Amino acid sequence: EKGGYDAFMLKEIAEQPRAVADTLLGRIGADGRLHLDEMHITDEQLREIDKIIIIACGTSYHAGMIAKYAIEHWAGVPCEVEFASEFRYRDPILTKSTLVIAISQSGESMDTLMAVRHAREQKARVLCICNVNGSTMPRECDGVLYTHAGPEVGVAATKTFLTQLVAVYLIALYIAQVRGTKWGDEVFAMVQLLGSMPEKVEKVLETMEPVRELARSLADEKSVLFLGRHVGFPVALEGALKLKELAYMHAEGFAAGELKHGPIALIEDGLPVIVVVPPRARDVLHDKIVSNIQEIRARGARTIVIAEEGDDSVAPYADTLIEVPAVPTLLQPLVTTIPLQVFSCELATAKGHDVDQPRNLAKSVTVE
Ligand code: F6R
């Protein structure tokens, strides 16, 4: 049932182009407009929303962080993201015009479920993004947008994460479409571009051999750091989480701009640092991260740089350069996440670990 792969995780990483395509299927009309009726929210209700709160755990939380950038940019609605386990135990301010979006691959995470119940008690409208039909969360929410990743057996979330990203882009663009924000043309163009993402994802998968080699060469390291800015920051956090859970290795993700406020003290000779670089078109953001790379390299870090293909301004500072297809900044996580999945999977395998069943972890965490 692993379809010729040594592990479910490898199979599920390989299935991502299909998973992304399936999650888009039937949601983009021939006229280029989005149709998300399954969310059970009227245009009028969407226009009345004045705040969005996203709740999730683990990898799904990283999808939530990326959702915040997309929703605030395209839809122009203030958006907060919070760990479900934290949201539940403070006193969040929710009103009828607050939209809560729970993100959970399994639909069963107890932390997220408790947060959903709490939000519903406060009369907020609650939607969820979920991959498992008939699971608990969709039944308890006002509406659901299903991801169509297919069953994910490996404990580490891979294809469900990519499809959660597709779902959050769809929701952000849909809200923008309904509310008619100033980004009308961009929204239309983004919907078109989303349609081309399965090919781009496929292209990344075809170029992963050097990443596997790199991973094997780093199997004896004590620690790996991950840096990013903007949506590259949650991608860095996701890269670090995968390495922790699969390779049992110390890993941390940072917002690159925060480096100088403390973490830069961790940099020492030979420390591997993986940096997610935004597209060149985002010049200010891009240049800032190039100087972050120079700073850490000057202090001895071994720089492993994930950048858009043909980005020569970053190449001179990269000990290892991993190229991904050029896509707009907000969509970049769909391509930059893949090398990080492959990296942690290969490194954990080189250490002799079972990537499908990492120690101490379960596929759905049904206790608080
Ligand atoms: C990471 C991982 C976990 C889950 C988290 C939330 O690879 O699998 O961090 O993302 O437990 O699970 P769901 O999305 O099912 O609520």
pLDDT for res 80: 97
Sign of dihedral through CA atoms 310, 330, 173, 104? positive
- Any ligand 1 atom below 6 A from CB of 57: yes
| Three-class HEC string of the chain | CCCCCCCHHHHHHHCHHHHHHHHHCCCECCCCCECCHHHCCCHHHHHHCCEEEEEECHHHHHHHHHHHHHHHHHHCCCEEEEEHHHHCCCCCCCCCCEEEEEEECCCCCHHHHHHHHHHHHCCCEEEEEECCCCCHHHHHCCEEEECCCCCCCCCCCCHHHHHHHHHHHHHHHHHHHHHCCCCHHHHHHHHHHHHCHHHHHHHHHHCCHHHHHHHHHCCCCCEEEEEECCCHHHHHHHHHHHHHHHHCCEEEEEEHHHHHHCHHHHCCCCCEEEEECCCCCCHHHHHHHHHHHHHHHHCCCEEEEEEECCCCCCHHHCCEEEEECCCCHHHCHHHHHHHHHHHHHHHHHHCCCCCCCCCCCCCCCCCC
Give distance in angstroms: CA of 364 to centre of ligand 1. 7
- Is the pLDDT reported for residue 233 higher than 90? yes
pLDDT for res 65: 98
Rounded to whole angstroms, how far apart are CA atoms 171 and 181? Answer: 14
Residue in 54, 55, 88, 105 to alter for ligand 1 test, most ligand atoms within 8 A of Cβ: 105
- Is the pLDDT reported for residue 362 higher than 90? no
pLDDT for res 238: 98
The pLDDT tens digits for 173-219 are 999 999 987 777 888 899 999 999 999 999 999 999 999 999 999 99
Span 125-140, average pLDDT: 97
What pTM value is reported for the model? Answer: 0.97
- Residues 279, 326 contacting (CB under 8 angstroms): yes
pLDDT for res 120: 95
Q: Which ligand 1 atom sits nearest the alpha carbon of residue 111?
A: 16
- Residues 54, 103 contacting (CB under 8 angstroms): yes
363 among known catalytic residues: yes
- Any ligand 1 atom below 6 A from CB of 112: yes
Edge-to-edge strand list for the sheet holding 98-104? 79-83, 51-56, 98-104, 125-130, 143-146
Rounded to whole angstroms, how far apart are CA atoms 333 and 236? Answer: 10
Report the nearest-CA residue for atom 4 of ligand 1.
Answer: 58
Retrieve residue 241's tokens: 């989480």
The pLDDT tens digits for 306-334 are 999 999 999 999 999 999 999 999 999 99
pLDDT for res 365: 85
Greatest mean pLDDT range, 84-93, 185-194, 297-306: 297-306
Q: Rounded to a whole number, what is the distance in angstroms from the first to the last CA of the chain?
A: 32
Span 98-106, average pLDDT: 98
The pLDDT tens digits for 42-62 are 999 999 999 999 999 999 999
| Cβ within 8 Å of residue 14, ≥6 positions away | 5, 205
Give distance in angstroms: CA of 253 to centre of ligand 1. 17
Mean pLDDT across the chain, nearest whole number? Answer: 95
- Position 91 confidence tier, pLDDT thresholds 50, 70, 90: confident
